[in-house]
Amino acid sequence: MRINSLQEYHEAYSLSVEKPEEFWANIANEFDWIKPFTKVLDWSFDDYSVKWFEDGQMNITANALDRHLKTIPDQAAIVYEPNEPGDEAITLTYRQLHARVCKFSNVLKAQGVKKGDRVCIYMPMIPELAIAVLACARIGAIHSVVFGGFSAQSISDRINDSLCKIVITTDGAVRGNKTIPMKETVDDALLSCPSVETVIVKTRTKTPVSMLKGRDLWWEEEEAQASADCAPEPMNAEDPLFILYTSGSTGKPKGVVHTCGGYMVYTAYTFANVFQYNPGDVFFCTADIGWITGHSYLVYGPLLNGAISVLFEGIPTYPDAGRFWDIIKRHQVNIFYTAPTAIRSLMGFGDEVLEGKDLSSLRVLGSVGEPINEEAWQWYHEKIGQGNCPIVDTWWQTETGGLMISPIAGITPLKPAFATLPLPGVQPILVDENGKEIEGNGVNGNLCIKYPWPSIIRTTYGDHERCKTTYFSTYPGLYFTGDGCMRDEDGYYRITGRVDDVMNISGHRIGTAEVENAINMHTGVIESAVVGFPHDVKGQGIYAYVICEHPTINDDLTRKDILATVARVIGPIAKPDKIQFVTGLPKTRSGKIMRRILRKVAEGEFGSLGDTSTLLDPSVVDSIIAGAL
Ligand code: WTA
C-alpha cells in the first residue's frame, strides 16, 4: 500500500488507471473483512451509481480499533489538547479508546438505536465527539455530525432532512475565552424536530441546562452502566457510514452520503501515502470533526493506520497566536495539517510569536480547504517547516471523501501553490464551458473526474436526483467538482477556486443562495444578492447587496440586525463582511441577477464591468458603484 519513491508513484498511478479493480482490490485486501468481497466495482456516471466491494462485509471500527489491539494496544490513539493550555492533556490508548467506543455503542443500543438509524452529533472538539462517531460506526448507525458553530435552525434543518432519532451533545463548549451554549441550542432546534426521541448530554462546562424527563440523559451516567463488550456490526461495504451536510450553488445544504468499505480503503490509503506516516509519528490535524477534513484525517484515516492523532479543542489565537506552535512542541508533532486561512492569520501576528518556539519535531506540513497563496506557502515553508519540511497542498472535497490531487510528502517535487499531481485512482480532466476536453498542458478549465475512486459520494441523502443533477449533469459522463483549475507545462494542477455560486470563506463552504435566504428573512429586506470577494486572511469574504423596503434610519444598526439574523439562521461563520444597501440589482431581462458585475464591484474593479447592455436597467449599475465608493 505504501509508495516509497517517485517511480513507485508513477507505477501505482499507471496500474490504477489500467487495472483499477486489481489496484484497489489489492489495497482493500490489506484490511480485515468479515466476509471477503468478490466483486470490486460496478459503476455508471450516466445513470449515477457506484458500488465498491459490494458483496464484502466489514466494520470500519474493527479496522480502526480492534485490529490494533493485537499490535499496539498501549500506544496513544487520540491525544486531547484542551482549550486551556494549563489543563492536562488526555491520552486515550487504542485499548482505552476501544473500550470507551464499545461502552458508548452499548449506550446507543440501550436507547434503541439500530443499524441504519441516523444519529445527529453536535459537540465541541472533545474526545467524546470521536467516541460518539466511532460508536455509531460500530453499531451501523449513520452519524450526521453538525459543526458546533451552526445555529439551532441549521441543526433542525439537518435533523429533519435525515430524520435523526437521537442527538448527542454537551452542556456547553469552551473556545478561547468564550463559553458557548450547546444543549440550549439543541433544545431550540428540537422544538421543530419530531423524529428525535433521545438526547444524550456530555458535561463539559457545567453550564446549567434543562434536562427533559423521558428524553434527555447524561452521557456519564449511561456510560457508567454500560458494558465494554460490543461486537462490531457486520456492514455491507455499500451500507452508509455517515451523512455530512455541505453547501452547494442552490437550495439548502445537502447530505453527502459516504459508505463503509470504499471510504475506509481510500481514507486509509491516502493518509498513509500523502503524509508518509511512519509508526509512532504524531499527527495534528487542526480541522474540526464537524467538517470532512476532521472525519477523514483526524478520526478515520489516522486510526485506520494505527496513528497518534491530536484533537485540539481550542482556537489558534488563545491564549496567544503561538498556540499551535506550543502544541507542536508539547506533543512532539511530526505532521501538521491546517488551512491557509489559519496560516495567513497567524502570519499576520508577526514572526516575534515564533521566537523561542521549538518546531524541530516537524517533518511534514499539509494544507487544505482553499487555494494557498504563494506568500503564505513560503512563510509556512520557511518559518514553520524551517525550510526542510515538504508541504502537501491537498485538494479534495466533502464529496470526494479523501484527498484527490496532492503531492506525496518528500516524493513529489513541489511547486508553491500547486496541488501537483493526482493520487493513484484519480483521473482528472479539464473541460471547457461546453464540456469538451481540454487536452495538453499549459491550459485552464473546469475540473472534472472521469472515473470513480472508492470514496466518491454515493448519493445526497433522500434525494438521489439531486446528486445526479448537481455532480453528473453539467458534463454528462463526468463528475464535476465545481472548481476551476489550471494544468501547467509540467502537467501540474493548480486549483483556482470555485466556478459556481459556492463561496469559500476561511476554508468553509457557504452557498450564496443560503446567505441570501437568511438575509431575506430579516424584516424589511426585500431582496439581496451575495457574492464572494478577495479577503486577505479569509481567502474570500462575503459581500451582500441588500434592498430594503424603506430607506433605513440607521444603516449601521440595520447592518448589525441583519448580521444577527444571518447568525441565527445559519451561524456566525456566514455573517457578511460587507453590507451595501442598494435600490436595485443588476438583472437581465429574464430576471437573472448578473453576479459577474456584483463581483467586480465587490472587488473594487469599477472600470472593467464588461457588457451591461443586456441589463433590464443599466443605470442600476451606476448607482451601485456610487454606493460602493
Ligand atoms: C476548495 C474540504 C484549493 C475547493 C476538504 C473545493 C481547495 C472545496 C483545496 C471543498 C486546495 C479544498 N486548494 N482549493 N488544496 N482544498 N479546496 O467540501 O474549492 O469543505 O471544491 O472540502 O474547497 O470544500 P469542502
How confident is the model over 435-479, as pLDDT tens digits? 999 999 999 999 999 999 999 999 999 999 999 999 999 999 999
The amino acid sitting at 550 is H
Cell readout for 188 is: 431550540
Distance 484 CA to ligand 1 centre (A): 11
Contact 624, 595 (CB under 8 A): no
What integer pLDDT is reported at residue 68 of this predicted model? 98
pLDDT of residue 109: 98
Domains belonging to the chain, first-starting first, are 6-449 (3.40.50.12780), 502-628 (3.30.300.30)
Q: Counting atoms of ligand 1 from 1, which one is nearest the CA of 293? A: 5
Residue with CA nearest ligand 1 atom 3: 371
Tell how far the Cα of 268 is from the centroid of ligand 1, in angstroms. 19
Residue to mutate (ligand 1; options 296, 300, 509; most atoms within 8 A of CB): 509
Q: Tell me: the pLDDT tens digits for 17-57?
A: 999 999 999 999 999 999 999 999 999 999 999 999 999 99
611 pLDDT above the threshold of 90: no
Nearest CA to ligand 1 atom 8: 397
Give the residues surrounding ligand 1 with Cβ less than 6 Å away.
246, 291-293, 367-371, 393-398, 419, 481-483, 495, 498, 504, 509
| Ligand 1 pocket, mutate which of 367, 368, 395 (most atoms under 8 A from CB) | 395
Distance 403 CA to ligand 1 centre (A): 10
> Rounded to the nearest whole angstrom, what is the distance from the C-alpha of residue 69 to the centroid of ligand 1?
35
- Which residue has the least CA distance to atom 13 on ligand 1? 371
User: What are the DSSP calls for 219-241, one per residue?
Assistant: HHHHHHHS-S--PPPPEETTSEE
Q: Return the pLDDT at 249.
A: 86
pLDDT, position 606: 85
Confidence at residue 564, expressed as pLDDT on a 0 to 100 scale: 98
DSSP string for residues in 157-207: HHHHHHT-SEEEEESEEEETTEEEESHHHHHHHHTT-TT--EEEEE-SS--
- Cα–Cα distance between 337 and 298 in angstroms, integer? 10
Mutate to test the pocket of ligand 1, among 338, 344, 370 (most ligand atoms within 8 A of CB): 370
| pLDDT tens by residue, 588-606 | 988 889 999 999 999 998 8
Span 88-123, pLDDT tens digits: 999 999 999 999 999 999 999 999 999 999 999 999
> CB neighbours of 86 closer than 8 A, spacing ≥ 6?
none
Q: Kindly give the distance from the C-alpha atom of residue 507 to the centroid of ligand 1, in angstroms, as a whole number.
A: 7
pLDDT at 607: 82
Q: What pLDDT score was predicted for residue 21?
A: 98
Specify burial of residue 250 (Cβ count, 10 A radius: 0-12, 13-18, 19+): middle
Q: State the pTM of this model.
A: 0.97
Atom of ligand 1 nearest to the CA of 246: 18
Share of the chain above pLDDT 90, in %: 95
The pLDDT of residue 385: 98
pLDDT tens digits, one per residue of 117-167? 999 999 999 999 999 999 999 999 999 999 999 999 999 999 999 999 999
- In this structure, the residue with its CA closest to atom 1 of ligand 1 is 370
Residue 382 binned pLDDT confidence (cut-offs 50, 70, 90): very high
- pLDDT value, residue 158: 98
Q: Which pLDDT band holds residue 610 (cuts at 50, 70, 90)? A: confident
Cα distances (Å, whole numbers) of residue 386 to 303, 407, 414: 28, 19, 16
Average predicted confidence (pLDDT) for the chain? 97
Instruction: Please name the amino acid found at residue 527.
Output: E
pLDDT digits (tens, 9 = 90+) for 310-321: 999 999 999 999
CA distances from 368 to 243, 394, 398, 478 (A): 21, 5, 12, 24
Measured by CA distance, the residue closest to atom 22 of ligand 1 is 397
Measured in Å, residue 571 CA sits from the centre of ligand 1 at: 20
Grid coordinates representing 353?
510569536
Q: How confident is the model at residue 299 (pLDDT cuts 50, 70, 90)?
A: very high
